[in-house]
Amino acid sequence: MRRLADLLTVITPLGRVVALGSVLLWWVGAQLGWTELVLAGATGLVVFGLACLLTLGRAALRVRVELDRQRVVVGRQVNCTVDIAQTTAGRLLPLTLELPVGEQVEVFDVLGGGRRAFPIPTRKRGVIAVGPATTVRGDPLGLLRRTVTWTDPVELFAHPVTVPLDSLAAGLLRDLEGRATTDLSMSDLAFHALREYAPGDDHRHIHWRSSAKLAAPGRFLVRQYQDTRRAHLAVVVDGSAGSYPDPEHFETAVSAGASIAARAITDEVETTVLAAGHVAHRAGLRPAMDALTRCDLGSEPLAELVSRTVRIMPDVTTAVVVTGPKPTFVELQSVMAAFASEVRTVVVRVDHENRTALTGDVLTLRELSDLPMLLSGGGLG
C-alpha cells in the first residue's frame, strides 16, 4: 500500500488530469459511439505512457554539497560547491539536480557531472537551509515528476552583527573565590561568624581556641560561612512582538545581546543566553551565537521570559535584559524585581527615536554603535 502511495506521488496534478480525463473520454466515446472522443482518450493515454517511460530507470550518482564556512556574520557571503559524479558506467538520461537555498532553488544539469560553485549571500540574520539535493526526472509536458534525495540539508548560520566591547570582568566580579551572598553555609570560603555546636555539625569546623576561651565547659564553637557564587551572567533578549515597533528595533536588540554575550564569554564568565525562546545554557561562543541567530519575534511576554530565566538560572549573579521601547517604566521595574535582590540587573532599552542615555539601571540605546560608550558609562562596569 505504501509503495502504491509512493508511485502516486510521482504523478503531478496535471498528469492526474490527463490520465483520468483520457480514461473518461475513452469510456464516454465508447458508450456514445463517438470516435473522436475515443481517439482523444487513446491519444492522452499514449502520451501518459510515453511520459512514464521517460521517468523509468535510476541514476547511480554521488552528490556532495560543501560550504566553505557554515557560520558567518550577516552581510557576508559563503561559497557553496556541488560535486556531481556518476558511479557506474553507462549513459544518463536527461536529469536535473535541484538544491534549495533558503527560499530559492539552484538548478544544475547532471549530464557531464563535475563541480559547480556559486555564492550564497546572507542579507539578513537567520539560519539558511541548504539542501537537500534532489535529482528530478520527468517529461517535457510535466505529467510526472520523480525525485531522489541525495544529501541531507545543511544549516548556514548568519550570525548577528556585533560591536567590540571593553572587558566586563570588573563589573561581573570574575574572581576565583566568587562573590559572597547573604545565604549562610557550613562549608565555603567566606567566613561569617562563630556559633554553638549543634548535633550533626562537622567536627572539622570546631574552632578549638575560641571554644576554650569563650564557650562554657563541655560546649564548643563552630565556624559558619557565607555562601559564595561564581559570576554567572544571563543575557535575556525579549522576543515579544509587542515590545518593538518594527523588526529593525528587534535586530538591534539581538545585536546588543550578542555583543554583551560575546564579550562575557571571551572574558571566561559563565554566560547563559535566552533569546526569544532559544536557550544556550553556560554555553561557549558558538552555541550562544547560534541561539541568537535562530531567535525571532513571537508572542511570549517579557515577564514570562524573565520568569523562565529565574527558574533556569537560580544561581545567576548578573542579568542583562534587552528589550524594545514599548514596555513601560513600571513593567521594567517589575522585570528587575523578578530577580533576587543580590542579582545585579540591567535593562537595555532599544529605542531608535530617543537619545542614548543612562538612567539608573535602565540604559536607552539608540544605535548599536553607542553600546560600548553606554556600558563604559556605568552599565556593567
Least confident of 41-45, 47-51, 90-94, 331-335: 90-94
Does the pLDDT value for residue 370 go beyond 50? Answer: yes
260/328 Cα distance (integer angstroms): 23
pLDDT digits (tens, 9 = 90+) for 187-235: 444 444 667 767 767 666 676 676 666 666 657 777 665 545 568 899 9
For 239-248, what is the mean pLDDT?
A: 94
Q: How far, in whole angstroms, is CA 96 from its chain's centroid?
A: 32
The band of 56, judged by pLDDT with boundaries at 50, 70 and 90, is confident
pLDDT tens, residue by residue, 96-106: 888 999 989 99
Q: How much is the pLDDT for 325? A: 94
Strands (E), the chain: 61-67, 71-73, 77-86, 96-101, 104-109, 114-121, 126-130, 134-138, 145-149, 154-159, 179-185, 190-196, 221-229, 232-237, 270-275, 278-280, 318-323, 344-350, 357-359, 362-365
Q: What are the start and end residues of each CATH 2.60.40.10 domain in the chain?
A: 61-159
Q: What letter would DSSP give residue 123? A: -
Where, residue-wise, is CATH 3.40.50.410 in the chain?
Answer: 231-379
Q: Residue 230's closest CA among 277, 187, 301, 181?
A: 181
Backbone angle region of 3, left / alpha / beta, with phi > 0 → left and psi within -120 to 50 → alpha: alpha
Mean pLDDT to the nearest integer, 276-280: 87
| Whole-angstrom distance, CA of residue 120 vs CA of residue 133 | 15
Write down the architecture of domain 231-379 according to CATH.
3-Layer(aba) Sandwich (3.40)
**Model pLDDT, residue 180:** 43
Whether the CB-CB separation of 130 and 154 falls below 8 Å is answered with yes
Q: What is the rounded average pLDDT of the residues 138-160?
A: 87
CATH class of 61-159: mainly beta
pTM of the model: 0.73
* Averaged pLDDT of the chain: 82
- 5-29 pLDDT, tens digit per residue, is 656 677 888 888 888 998 898 888 8
Q: C-alpha angle 145/147/148, rounded to 5°?
A: 160
Q: Tell which phi-psi region holds residue 301, choosing left (phi > 0), alpha (psi between -120 and 50) or beta.
A: beta
So what's the pLDDT on residue 350? 95
Q: Given 3-state DSSP classes, what are the helix, strand and coil percentages for the chain, each rounded to the nearest 5?
A: 35, 35, 35
